[in-house]
Amino acid sequence: MAFSSYGAFWLYLSLLKIFTSLGLVSAQPVALGTVLLLWGFFTFYMWIASLKTNLATCLVFLFLWIAFVVLGIGDITGIHGIELAGGFMALVTAIAAWYDSLAVVINDTFGKQVLPLGKPVK
């Protein structure tokens, strides 16, 4: 669910940027901000579902939820500092996601816990 949904989001966003740069469509910041807030809503309930997985995955969805909300607010308001904070949260999300994938792959490869993932939230 998550991989295909976020893959579709990135496909949409990249096509929007390409078509906008070619002058084929016009993308208003408020519209993009609204889309980001809606993806924040989707990410929020993915975060709720992730509470039954492990702490690392839970943190990825939590940071991504915050990033979408802050980026959406930044686009809607046009305040550069908010947009910058959203970009920072996206970088924090990327670091958490890289660690999560690293730990899953290494732990699975070695057949034991080499890197901690954290227990599910109860």
74 within some domain: yes
User: What are the tens digits of pLDDT across the range 20-69?
Assistant: 899 999 888 899 999 999 999 999 999 999 999 999 999 999 999 999 99
pLDDT of residue 3: 83
121 within some domain: no
Residue 90's domain spans which residues? 2-110
49 within some domain: yes
pLDDT of residue 114: 96
71 within some domain: yes
pLDDT of residue 109: 97
21 within some domain: yes
| Angle, CA of 35, 40 and 44, to the nearest 5° | 150
Percent of the chain with pLDDT over 90: 87
8 within some domain: yes
23 within some domain: yes
Query: Quick one: average pLDDT of 98-114?
Result: 96
Q: What is the largest CA-CA distance in the chain?
A: 53
73 within some domain: yes
> Among positive and negative, which fits the CA dihedral 108, 112, 118, 122?
positive
How many domains would you assign to the chain? 1
pLDDT of residue 8: 95
Please tell me the pTM assigned to this model.
Answer: 0.91
